[in-house]
Amino acid sequence: MGPLKRTREVIFYFCRNGKCEEVKAFEWDTVASALLAAGYKIFRYSDKYCEPRSVFCAIGLCNSCIMVVDGQPNVRTCITPVRDGMNVEVPQ
């Protein structure tokens, strides 16, 4: 695959129960890859049984990794690129 080409750092926020933490990512990361790399492994809890959910397919097909991004619900984080200052929330 060769060396990494785009290594600019991007900083966004992971928010859970109203508290936000800074997450450092690389420019080409998706929200999902950046969260997993930073150790934020649980993305949300299922509606009915409140079970933890994370990445399953990583290509936008299964909807397991959906979160609230900049106020918009049901965003597939595995196909959403990171952007400076973006807010990524665990849905309530």
What is the contact surface with other proteins in residues (CB under 8 A)? Answer: 1, 4, 28-30, 33, 36-37, 41-43, 46, 51-62, 78-81
CB of 22 to other proteins, least distance (A): 18
Using the minimum distance from each CB to other proteins, give the nearer residue, 21 or 70. Answer: 70
Paired with 16 in beta bridges are 19
Tokens of 72: 């918009």
CB of 6 to other proteins, least distance (A): 12
Using the minimum distance from each CB to other proteins, give the nearer residue, 20 or 61. Answer: 61
Query: Could you please report the per-residue DSSP string of 27-71?
Result: TT-BHHHHHHHTT----EE-TTT--EE--SSSSSSS-TTEEEETT
